[in-house]
């Protein structure tokens, strides 16, 4: 019982809508049994390692079939569950991870209720270890099949989105906003305004790569792959947060944010508070290791609770700021370079330090393109690059992609013809790339070239599609 003394009964009751009865029962007796149930909480596993006959896959199939068979008036109905995402999902800001964590949790509980499998744990798709959409999703007679995918059973996700070095670099970010996206700009909860590295690269790219209809839209939960894709992101958040010991933001606007968008296993309206979601993985479920070189946390439950609830400031202290305030336009099959003027040796301190100082590149006022059959690679200090330039090139800094929905944007944003297309923003820590260039003697002069390379998704006709951004920023930031 000592592990849980950091929480009062009132703390738990405030989160009653999110926590299962087994957690609350700790305060009403039978605690030894509850502690055992928490210790033995369901294990979320990599679906690519499970055969079609595995009980987890069988339960998932049965649950999806049951949801598809429910009345259209039932909020647990398959289409209605996707509508939750269409109407309410948060993207491009720091509510992205906790909102989807709550969404996954209630979906998992609905699966248990409809199948009678109280031990069911939603599987995840580890696209780093298995970069093709797993085999269990390709049986055309299965409820897990979606005919609207634009990839085949053997098509591989690009290593610049999901490769082990890329994911390891994302996990190495120690600042919450770099890892998990920053605060929403202008109150826009539903669209990309301040997109961090986990969301802008593997999340957005997997959605866009699979197709431009179901998975490529805000109705993406219509494809059963969606739930396993987002479960992988949740697993990486667990690794970053709990195993690697990185703090979530303690900003009150994040901690206290509530969402009233969900339905529980009985079809009743349910709500979450963001601070409650940080505790789900230590009370309600656990993961098989999903991250490259993962090491399990050695903290006790009590230490984890204290650490997770405490959080830490995530705001950056910017000591130097350089900006290119002019439009840069890059088209598929072509490249575009913006040159940012900088002071000599402007970033030498950050490049020589291993502390919490970084050079952050912000790509802002990026128009969300009408068609999104491509992603964008970013190179530093090199203009002669193309879609064929490998990501092993020392000038490569990162990738990002778009995830949006025209219908949802029109629903949530007032029509404003003068404003043009909705805008997005992406943030990338370019310190490792600058450090490599500096060590090789390739970083010199009074300007830094930032080259954008739009790359089409495999088997997609993206000729003529382009990315347009209004501003490039370089910041020397401490956090």
Same fold? 2-310, 317-478: no
pTM of the model: 0.92
Whether residue 30 is predicted with pLDDT greater than 70 in this model: the reply is no
Q: Regarding the domain delimited by 317-478, which CATH topology (the fold level of the hierarchy) does it fall under?
A: Jelly Rolls (2.60.120)
CA of 363: how far to CAs of 180, 453, 456, 468, in Å? 16, 14, 20, 10
Rounded to the nearest 10 degrees, how much is the dihedral formed by the CA atoms of 309, 312, 314, 319?
180
Burial letters for 73-83: b for 16+ Cβ neighbours within 10 Å, e otherwise? eebbbbebbbb
Euclidean distance between CA atoms 120 and 380, whole angstroms: 46
For residue 245, what pLDDT band results from cuts at 50, 70 and 90?
Answer: very high
Q: What is the pLDDT of residues 277-301, one digit of tens each?
A: 999 999 999 999 999 989 888 888 8
3-state secondary structure of 101: helix
Q: Which residues pair with 44 in a beta bridge?
A: 287
Q: Which residues pair with 398 in a beta bridge?
A: 378
Q: Which residues pair with 295 in a beta bridge?
A: none
- Neighbour count for residue 266 (Cβ, 10 Å): 11
Rounded to the nearest 10 degrees, how much is the dihedral formed by the CA atoms of 232, 237, 238, 241?
170
Do residues 185 and 193 lie in contact, with contact meaning Cβ atoms separated by under 8 Å?
Answer: yes
Give the pLDDT of residue 416.
44
Euclidean distance between CA atoms 283 and 304, whole angstroms: 11
For residue 24, what pLDDT band results from cuts at 50, 70 and 90?
Answer: very low
Q: What is the pLDDT of residues 316-329, one digit of tens each?
A: 999 999 999 889 99
Closest C-alpha to 477, from 178, 230, 205:
178
For residue 12, what pLDDT band results from cuts at 50, 70 and 90?
Answer: very low
What is the number of residues in the chain?
479
In DSSP notation, 107-163 reads HHHHHHHHHT-TT----B--TTT--SPPGGG--TTSTT--TT-SS-TT----HHHH-
Euclidean distance between CA atoms 298 and 245, whole angstroms: 10
Residue with tokens 């010199």: 444
For residue 29, what pLDDT band results from cuts at 50, 70 and 90?
Answer: very low
Give me the helices (H) in 175-310, please: 176-180, 197-198, 204-210, 225-238, 252-255, 274-277, 280-283, 301-310
Give the pLDDT of residue 411.
63
Q: What are the backbone dihedrals phi and psi of residue 58, each rounded to the nearest 5 degrees, phi first? A: -65, -40
Long-range contacts of 342-349 (CB under 8 A, 24+ apart): 342/446, 342/447, 342/448, 342/474, 343/446, 344/446, 346/320, 346/322, 346/476, 347/320, 347/431, 347/434, 347/476, 348/438, 349/476
In DSSP notation, 340-361 reads EE--TTTTHHHHH--SSEEEEE
Tokens representing 448?
């830094």
Q: Regarding the domain delimited by 2-310, which CATH topology (the fold level of the hierarchy) does it fall under?
A: di-copper center containing domain from catechol oxidase (1.10.1280)
Domain boundaries, the chain: 2-310, 317-478
CA of 130: how far to CAs of 84, 289, 318, 392, 399, in Å? 29, 14, 39, 20, 20
Give the pLDDT of residue 191.
66
Give the pLDDT of residue 412.
57
Euclidean distance between CA atoms 220 and 218, whole angstroms: 5
Tokens representing 348?
């030498």
Euclidean distance between CA atoms 289 and 411, whole angstroms: 39
Our CA angle for 383, 388, 391, nearest 5°, is: 80
Mean pLDDT of the chain: 89
For residue 36, what pLDDT band results from cuts at 50, 70 and 90?
Answer: confident
Longest dimension (CA), the chain: 69
Our CA angle for 364, 369, 372, nearest 5°, is: 115
| HSE of 134, CA atoms in CB hemisphere, 13 A | 27
Residue 371: Cβ-neighbour burial (10 angstroms; 0-12, 13-18, 19+): middle
Q: What is the pLDDT of residues 326-371, one digit of tens each?
A: 899 999 999 999 999 998 888 888 888 766 899 999 999 999 898 9
In DSSP notation, 398-456 reads EEE-----HHHHHHHS---GGG-S-EEEEEEE-HHHHHHHHHTT---SSEEEEEEEEEE
Give me the helices (H) in 239-279, please: 252-255, 274-277
Whether residue 149 is predicted with pLDDT greater than 70 in this model: the reply is yes
More confident call, 405 vs 473: 473
Give the pLDDT of residue 38.
80
């Amino acid at each position: 019982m000592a592990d849980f003394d950091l929480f009062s009964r009132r703390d738990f009751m405030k989160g009653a809508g999110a926590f299962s009865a087994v957690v609350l029962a700790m305060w009403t007796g039978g605690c030894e049994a509850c502690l055992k149930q928490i210790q033995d909480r369901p294990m979320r596993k990599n679906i690519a390692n499970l055969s079609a006959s595995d009980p987890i896959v069988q339960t998932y199939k049965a649950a999806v079939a049951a949801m598809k068979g429910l009345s259209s008036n039932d909020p647990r109905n398959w289409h209605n569950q996707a509508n939750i995402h269409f109407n309410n999902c948060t993207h491009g800001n720091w509510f992205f991870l906790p909102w989807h964590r709550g969404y996954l949790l209630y979906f998992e509980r609905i699966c248990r209720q409809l199948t009678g499998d109280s031990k069911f744990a939603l599987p995840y798709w580890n696209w780093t270890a298995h970069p093709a959409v797993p085999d269990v999703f390709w049986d055309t007679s299965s409820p897990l099949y979606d005919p609207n995918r634009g990839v085949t059973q053997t098509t591989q996700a690009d290593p610049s989105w999901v490769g082990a070095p890329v994911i390891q670099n994302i996990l190495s970010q120690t600042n919450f906003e770099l890892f998990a996206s920053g605060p929403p700009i202008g109150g826009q909860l539903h669209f990309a305004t301040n997109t961090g590295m986990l969301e802008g690269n593997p999340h957005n790219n997997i959605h866009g790569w699979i197709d431009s209809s179901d998975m490529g839209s805000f109705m993406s939960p219509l494809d059963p792959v969606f739930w396993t894709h987002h479960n992988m992101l949740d697993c990486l958040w667990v690794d970053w947060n709990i195993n690697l010991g990185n703090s979530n933001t303690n900003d009150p606007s994040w901690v206290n944010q509530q969402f009233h968008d969900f339905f529980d296993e009985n079809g009743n309206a349910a709500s979450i508070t963001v601070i409650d979601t940080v505790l789900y993985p230590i009370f309600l479920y656990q993961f098989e290791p999903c991250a490259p070189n993962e090491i399990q946390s050695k903290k006790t439950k009590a230490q984890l609770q204290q650490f997770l609830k405490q959080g830490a400031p995530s705001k950056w202290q910017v000591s130097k700021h350089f900006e290119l305030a002019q439009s840069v336009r890059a088209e598929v099959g072509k490249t575009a370079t913006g040159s940012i003027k900088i002071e000599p040796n402007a970033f030498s301190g950050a490049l020589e330090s291993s502390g919490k100082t970084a050079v952050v590149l912000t790509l802002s006022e990026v128009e969300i393109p009408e068609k999104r059959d491509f992603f964008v690679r970013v190179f530093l200090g090199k203009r002669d690059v193309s879609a064929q330039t490998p990501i092993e090139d020392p000038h490569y800094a990162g990738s990002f992609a778009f995830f949006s929905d025209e219908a949802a944007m029109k629903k949530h944003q007032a029509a404003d013809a003068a404003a043009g297309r909705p805008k997005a923003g992406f943030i990338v820590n370019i310190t490792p790339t600058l450090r490599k260039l500096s060590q090789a003697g390739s970083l010199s002069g009074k300007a830094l070239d930032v080259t954008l390379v739009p790359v089409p998704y495999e088997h997609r006709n993206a000729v003529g599609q382009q990315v347009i951004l209004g501003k490039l920023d370089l910041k020397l930031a401490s956090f």
